[in-house]
Structure 1
Amino acid sequence: MSGDDDAPAWGPARRVLAAEVAEQVLLHGRSRIAVGTELGLSRFQVARLLDAARERGLVRVDIDPGADVDARRSSAVRAAHGLRRALVARDDGGVPALAAALLAETVGTGDVLGLAWSRTVNDVVGLLPRLARCTVVQLCGAYSLPWRRDGSATAVFRAAALCGGDAYPV
């Protein structure tokens, strides 16, 4: 294969070569130099093949952060408010599960986790899969509702029991 721009048309042999190069570099993480050496190409020819494969639709990138997160809206909220991170659930019903996953990911050993009062906070704590050992503090007054068996202090105790840390309810 010639690396020149005036190379033969983008026919089936070139498409197969570009697909092989893309698979080796993008899926298997091999270096352009290693792939080029194996196929008798320079790293520049490999790079041009990759660019052409993207331009011609042979290679498509599909980024999916998961069914629970709306990546586009998360990025928009983050940018609009100058935040380092923002997460927007794909639907309102997914907020507690997404928040529980975020807490499990971000709370580290020795941190202090402050919990406000709300039904959603209680739901989040009920969905926590795990939590690093931390101190759990109730941030504001208690609430209880007659149709729920848990209140805001219950969430504090439940989170502390989950992580093995100290609980400080109001």
Structure 2
Amino acid sequence: MSTTHQELLADIATAYYLDNTSKVEIAKEHGISRFQVARYLDEARREGVVDITIHRPAHTQIDAAALAAVLGVEGVDIAREPAGRSAREAVAVQAAATLDSLARKGCTIGVSWSRTLSLMTTHLGQLPTCDVVQLAGDLRFGNDAGSGQLIHQLGTAAGGRTWPLPAPLIVESAQLASSLRRLPEISEAQAKADHLDIAMVAIGTWTSGRSTVWARVSEEERASIAAAGAVAEISGRLLTETGEHVDAGLDGRVIAVTIDQLRAATTTVAIAYGLDNLPGVLAALRGGFIQRLVIDGDLAAALAEHAGLDAA
């Protein structure tokens, strides 16, 4: 290949790849057809005049199976985030796909409330016929319809019987919570949670904006909970950094699934997203009751780094 021809290839490649000049414009400038431009571009790549390097985001290089193995869970599902989709929506879409892959006819599905799990139900297709149990009382934000809509949508997708939990997640006193738990519709739902095939829960780190419960307790209570060592919250239940369940004065006021019930579930699926949720996810994993994790790419990369797992 002559120097003149090589320079021609370099000029055309520069115009196309670096200057964003169209093939039609390049053809006019050099007095050739746009088909010749295309052939020259192919030749430039083949001859090494053009060297294209693609740098993928770190999380797309993570081996999900290897990450699951090092974290000690049965599976890790990493949500992809197409343009225009938030991390929350991406995780909600993946959670719907994960639930669809796990659901079997006749099984019992339990679901806690979170904004991401609520969004998950809008991405579900028709599931095999299953019973659905609400695992946590209602906790609404702004115009959100709350857990009532979540359980209705999931129940419609599953087509089986539903066990709603018609109570707030947190009430003012342990005495009131105890009275509510004695109501048949609540006690039956909580008893049904003893026999879960699939439990869908959200992990929240105990901090502002990352726990649905944080905003519903006083500043004094937050300080007391932090002093007790709580770093994570799942359906109103608190975990320490080492994954141990801690009461911290909140348990008695919470109407929700217990950690022991989650341990008894055949498969507990936990969802989370965002780098700032890393402490909460690590605490839940150390607790040993999570079998499946649904997370976004950033959190997957952080977990892989924490575990010393090299990208593929």
Tell me if the contact between 1:101 and 1:129 (Cα under 8 Å) persists in the aligned partners. no
1:159 to 154, 169, 184: 154
Residues 126 and 71 (structure 1 numbering): CA distance in 2 closer, same or farther, change over 3 Å? Answer: farther
CA RMSD in angstroms, aligned pairs only: 1.9
Name the aligned partner's letter for residue 84 of structure 1.
E
Q: Which residue of 1 aligns with 2:76?
A: 86
Tell me the distance in 1 between the aligned counterparts of 2:95 and 2:139.
20
SS at match of 1:127: coil
Letter in 2 for 1:133: T
Q: What is the CA deviation profile of residues 13-38 of structure 1, one whole-angstrom value per residue up to 9, with x for unaligned ones?
A: xxxxxxxxxxxxxxxxxxxxxxxxxx
**Does the aligned pair in 2 maintain the 1:73–1:88 contact within 8 Å?**
no
Q: Mapping of 1:1-80 within 5 angstroms?
A: 70=60, 72-80=62-70
What SS does the corresponding residue of 1:99 show, helix, strand or coil?
Answer: helix
Distance in structure 2 (CA, Å) of the matches to 1:130 and 1:96: 16
State the match for 2:164 in structure 1. 169
Q: TM-score, normalised by structure 1?
A: 0.54
Whole-angstrom distance in 1 between the partners of 2:129 and 2:65: 30
> Which runs of 5 or more structure 2 residues have no equivalent in the other structure?
1-58, 82-86, 166-312
Once the 2 structures are TM-superposed, how far is the Cα of residue 112 of structure 1 from its aligned partner? 0.8
Deviation at 1:71, TM superposition (A): 7.0
* Gaps in structure 1 of 5+ consecutive residues: 1-68
Q: Does structure 1 conserve the Cα–Cα contact (< 8 Å) formed by 2:139 and 2:147? A: yes
| Partner residue of 1:104 out of 75, 97, 100 | 100
User: In the superposition, relative to structure 1, how do residues 132 and 102 fare at CA in structure 2: closer, same or farther (>3 Å)?
Assistant: same
Alpha-carbon distance in structure 2 between the residues aligned to 1:109 and 1:86 = 23
User: Structure 1 128/71 Cα, relative in aligned 2: closer, same or farther at 3 Å?
Assistant: farther
Q: Residue deviations 1:83-122, cap 9 Å, x none?
A: 2211111332411111111111211111111111100000
Partner of 1:122: 118
Using the alignment, how far apart are the partners of 1:162 and 1:75 within structure 2? Answer: 29
- Following superposition, the deviation at residue 77 of structure 1 comes to 2.7
Provide the aligned length of Structure 1 versus Structure 2. 101
Alpha carbons of structure 1 residues 73 and 88: separation in structure 2 relative to 1, 3 Å = farther
Contact kept in structure 2, 1:109 and 1:133, CA below 8 Å: yes
1:74 Cα shift? 2.0
* Partner secondary structure for residue 162 of structure 1: helix
TM-score, reference length from structure 2: 0.30
2-structure distance, mates of 1:130, 1:115: 17
Partner of 1:16: none
Q: Equivalent residue of 2:80, what SS?
A: coil
* Higher percent of residues as strand: 2
Sequence identity (%): 29
Amino acid of the structure 2 residue aligned with 1:162: A
Q: Distance in 1 between matches of 2:77 and 2:67?
A: 8
- Greater RCO structure (CA 8 Å; 6+ sep): 2
